[in-house]
Structure formats: C-alpha cells, structure tokens
Amino acid sequence: MIIVIKKNANKEEVEKLIKRLSIYDVTITPIEGQENTVLGIVGDTSAIDKEAISINNCVEKVLKVQEPYKKANRKFHPEDTIINANGVIFGGKKIPILAGPCSVESEEQIIGIAKAVQKSGATMLRGGAFKPRSSPYSFQGLRAEGLTLLDEARRVTGLPIISEITNVELVDLFNESVDIIQVGARNMQNFELLKLLGQTKKPILLKRGFSNTIEELLMSAEYIMSGGNENVILCERGIRTFETFTRNTLDLSAVPALKRISHLPVVIDPSHAAGINWMVESLAKAAVAVGADGLIIEVHNDPANALSDGAQSLLPSQFDDLMTKLKAVAVAVDREI
C-alpha cells in the first residue's frame, strides 16, 4: 500500500497517521520527494481500511500495490534512485562506463588495461577474480590474488573497481575489497547470498539471469533491499532464446520497462549479450539511446590469447574509438559520458 501525502500537509497530522498505522503488522517507510511525500506500507495490509485512511486531511490518495516487489517499485519511490559508488554516480545525467577484462590474469595485464581504459574515459575498472565457468576445466580466475591485483590497479589509476562474487563465504572479503559487488547471472536467484548482501551497505550490481523475467529480477533485488541495502543497480546482460547466432539475446526493451516500473538504475552489458566483439559497438550505442544508466564493456590487450571471453573483448584502441561514438549518442538523448 502507498499513501500519498498532500503537499504542505501538517506534520503533526502525518505523525498521527503513522502512529495509527503502526498498530498493524506492517513496516512504514516515509519517502520524501521534491513534490510529494509518500508512506510506503509493506506487510499484511488487509486489515487497513483504505477508505478510512483516505479521509484524513493530510492524505492525497491511497494506492494498493499488487506487484510482489515493493521496495524496488516506482510506486513506492517515484523519483529515480541515485547511487554513489566511490564517486561514480549511477542514475544521474552522466552515464558511467565500466571497462576491463573478463578475468584478471596478471599484474601487468590488469594495470596496463586499467591505464588504457582510464585514458579513454572509463569511469570504473571491471575484472573477474573468481570466475563461475560453465566448464570445470576452464580458467577459474586468480581468486583472492585477483582482488589484490585489482586493488593495485585502483591504487595506480584511481579507478574504482567492480568484480563478481560467487558464493556466500566471500561476502566479507568483497565488502572490504571492491567498490561495487557484482552478482552474476548464475547467482541472481542465490537467495542466501542476496540476503547476506542485503546486510552490507556496498552497492550491488545485480545481473539478470539467463532465462529470468523482469519481475524475477526485481524480486531478487527485493531480497537485497529488504535486508536494508537499497544500493542496487540492475543489469541486463542478454537472455537465452532460440537464437544461436549470438551468445545471448540482448533485451533492450528491458531498459524502458524497468525504468517505468522501478526507480533503480539500469546498466547494460553488451559484451556478454552478443559474445561477439564486432557487435559490441552497435549494442552499446543502442543501449545509450534507449536510456541505459551505464555500460559494462570487456576490454583486453590480447583478446586472441585471453583466458576467458576473448571473442567478445575489444582491444584498447577499439574501446577508445567506441567511447568517442558513445559521447555523440549520449548528447543526442540529453545525457553525458
């Protein structure tokens, strides 16, 4: 349930209303916007008389929320959420670009790429330390050493870092080591992990699962937010369809859909969506045009010999060229890069 408070309503009347509602088994969250204040009511609202509440002098209107996701719902939070990840802003006019290799392979590799993408205008360094791979024989990442090397690249360049967490035992390590914790597609419905991440204050980038609906993505975000951590960034990275030409099918329609029904920032990962490096430019430009609040782009100094996902990685020179083109697209939709 949502109670919209009248503009310039008497504060004492609002406090009395909140006290009255507190007798029910619900959580009441006041949310103050530029135009209106709303009371978000989460819990069993069946006993609350909607009509009786609506006749209060301070109440503009009362709305029942049918969707199962509450905290991620725009009805509860009409204004866009702005998330600050160590100086990188998600949800504002400027579109952050998160760039780097799929996997951290060596100190020389990650620092060299970090310097290159920073020079081209990237705002954050991405790199995998713990790698959840489809095959047990594939490179599994440098693990804790990879996080150490990412930290060194951050020290050298000043770029904040994002890396993917793979299990619940790593929450404390990631909370201390990175600026954004990424939850990959395979873990989108790892609810025990999501609940633990909800107890942190670290920004979480939550990727949509291979075959999950938009509502299921938002329900996973709800797990994190219901634990107290509302710093959630949604990520569309392509879903599994009958098409086999690309690695996945990038659902660009998810961006306007999510931004209509949720207040959370939405990021696009064109690299994992296509799985083909020559497609990344087109998909990245389309993502900016459709309203994405950020991009994750894989960049490798030697894609042909990368230990993971070289086929979808751009060379630093290709990334530099892409950044120039993305800036032009951003201007056309009144955004900045």
Over 80: is that where the pLDDT of 131 sits?
Answer: no
Tell me how far CA of residue 143 lies from CA of 46, 79, 111, 139, 251, in angstroms.
48, 38, 17, 11, 31
Query: What share of residues in the chain are helix, strand, coil (percent, to 5)?
Result: 40, 20, 40
Residue 137's pLDDT band (cuts 50, 70, 90): low
Q: How many Å apart are CA 51 and CA 31, to the nearest integer?
A: 22
Q: Dump strand ranges (E) for 199-291.
A: 204-207, 232-236, 266-268
Q: How many Å apart are CA 302 and CA 12, to the nearest integer?
A: 65
* Higher pLDDT, residue 76 or 239: 239
Mean pLDDT confidence for 96-102: 97
Mean pLDDT confidence for 311-322: 98
According to the model, what pLDDT value does residue 267 have? 98
Let me know if domain 83-332 sits in CATH 3.30.420.10: no
According to the model, what pLDDT value does residue 160 have? 98
Is residue 335 within 8 A of residue 95, CB to CB? The reply is yes
According to the model, what pLDDT value does residue 289 have? 98
Helices (H), 69-213: 107-120, 144-157, 171-177, 191-197
* Higher pLDDT, residue 8 or 94: 94
Q: How many Å apart are CA 278 and CA 273, to the nearest integer?
A: 12
Task: Report helix, strand or coil for 316.
Answer: helix
Helix 316-332 with 107-120: angle, nearest 10 deg: 30
Model confidence pLDDT, tens digit, residues 215-254: 999 999 999 999 999 999 999 999 999 999 999 999 999 9
> What is this structure's pTM?
0.87
Which of 163, 159, 166, 145 has its CA nearest to residue 102? Answer: 163
Q: How much is the mean pLDDT over the chain?
A: 94
Question: Tokens for 267?
Answer: 């990021």
Write the CATH number of the domain with boundaries 2-63. Answer: 3.30.70.1140
The label of the residue with tokens 């504060």 reads 11
Mean pLDDT confidence for 122-147: 86
Over 80: is that where the pLDDT of 132 sits?
Answer: no
Q: How many Å apart are CA 35 and CA 7, to the nearest integer?
A: 7
According to the model, what pLDDT value does residue 135 have? 75
Of 28-32, 78-82, 300-304, which range is least confident?
28-32
Sequence ranges of the domains in the chain: 2-63, 83-332
Q: How many Å apart are CA 271 and CA 230, to the nearest integer?
A: 27
